[in-house]
Amino acid sequence: MSDMTLADVSGEMADIDFTMLSTRAAEGRIASRPMSNNGDVEYTGDSYYFAWGHAHMVGEIEADPNVGLTFQGSKGLLGAPPMFIAVEGVGKIIRDKVAFVEHWTPDLDRWFTDGVDTPGVVMIHVNAKRIHYWRGEEEGEIAL
């Protein structure tokens, strides 16, 4: 068992660009897809991702806001085992362009060519409720 803090886990997550966002799909199935944090890495328990409003995951979050995020870090110094992080949280769809600005980065323009004014873009806000982490034999949980 380990006693990592949210700040410790945040430091590990800062170097991980992609997560797998999991939602409950039709008939109770679990659907997962990769999402980028877009460099928004000051993790305090809240994650933000941009997507198309017509995407299946948006409807799935609106139907059941319980979501999961999974992260895998690279190997640590001197061959240390990689870090694995699983976040259980509550998702919310945000359609407010003013809120988009706080989390928007120029890299997003690749997918959303009109920036925050791109028709149909939404932001997914995931508020963590519990975080599990593993690195080799070290493991622990942070309840938020």
Tens of pLDDT, residues 3-23: 888 888 888 887 788 899 999
Residue 1 lies in a domain: no
Dihedral-angle region of residue 113 (phi above 0 means left; psi in -120 to 50 means alpha; beta otherwise)? alpha
Mean pLDDT computed over 43-69: 94
The pLDDT-based confidence of 76 (bands split at 50, 70, 90) is low
Question: Exposed (0-12), middle (13-18) or buried (19+): which is 79, by Cβ within 10 Å?
Answer: exposed
- Give me the torsion for CA of 38, 39, 43, 45, rounded to 10°: 0
Q: What is the span of the domain harbouring residue 46?
A: 6-143
Domain with 47 in it: what CATH number? 2.30.110.10
> Is 119 inside a domain boundary?
yes
pTM for the whole structure: 0.89
Mean pLDDT, range 20-46, rounded to an integer: 87
> Residue 129 pLDDT more than 80?
yes
What's the domain count of the chain? 1
Q: Could you give the CA distance from residue 130 to residue 26 in angstroms, rounded to a whole number?
A: 24
pLDDT value for 73: 81
